[in-house]
Amino acid sequence: MNSLGIGMTSARTRQRMVDRLRDRGIIDERVLEAMAQVPRHLFVDEALAQRAYEDNALPIKFGQTISQPYVVARMTEEVIKSQHAKKVLELGTGSGYQAAVLGQLIDEVFSIERIDKLTRSARRLFIKLGYLNIRCKTGDGFQGWPSEALFDVIICTAAPEKIPFSLLDQLHVGGKMILPVGDNKKQKLVAIVKEPHGYQEEVLGDVIFVPLLQGVVR
């Protein structure tokens, strides 16, 4: 597939997506530029490439989805609000699109995916596109990545029913965890900041993500 894109997958189409994001309130130009640079059509099935720059979630393999561009941009804005966000952990690699956008902005991105075939597919794409600052592995997101902790930000692209507070142990003090929380009917996007003796929690809005599940699928 053409990495630069043609027709409905071209840079011009990608720029129209960015213009819509700006109209919806995404104001950080660093995020908008990152969204303009990442070829989203490579992160979806080829049959759906012509729809890649619509502001919709799209299905990928194994019952998973690639998040809608607005949600990716909104979560990325929240990540880089942390002025010292140089090392980020993502739970739920999926297609790899969110990690690729973060890879434009963050020094080190670590990403965990429970479905091994998705991990392998995303890794090949990261290599193809030259993202040398992204590392991914197959694992249980609820366990995090202890050997690489501590992180500045943890971002979750699938929704646990309850906040996994144990993951706060893998954050620096002052670090932030951004995640959707809830069941398949109602979810909130939440930002939790780790403090020396507790945490602060902020609700960012309503979202809908696939569930964050335990275990690994080989």
Tell me, yes or no, if 95 is annotated catalytic. Answer: no
Instruction: Report CA-CA distances (Å) from 185 to 27, 163, 199.
Output: 29, 16, 27
DSSP the chain: --SS--GGGSHHHHHHHHHHHHHTT---HHHHHHHHHS-GGGGS-GGGGGGTTSSS-EE-GGG-EEPPHHHHHHHHHHHHTSTT--EEEEE--TTSHHHHHHHTT-SEEEEEESBHHHHHHHHHHHHHHT-TTEEEEE--GGG--GGG--EEEEEESSB-SS--GGGGGGEEEEEEEEEEEE-SS-EEEEEEEEETTEEEEEEEEEE--PBP--S-B-
Query: Which of 67, 95, 111, 121 is labelled catalytic?
Result: 67
Q: Which residues belong to the active site?
A: 67
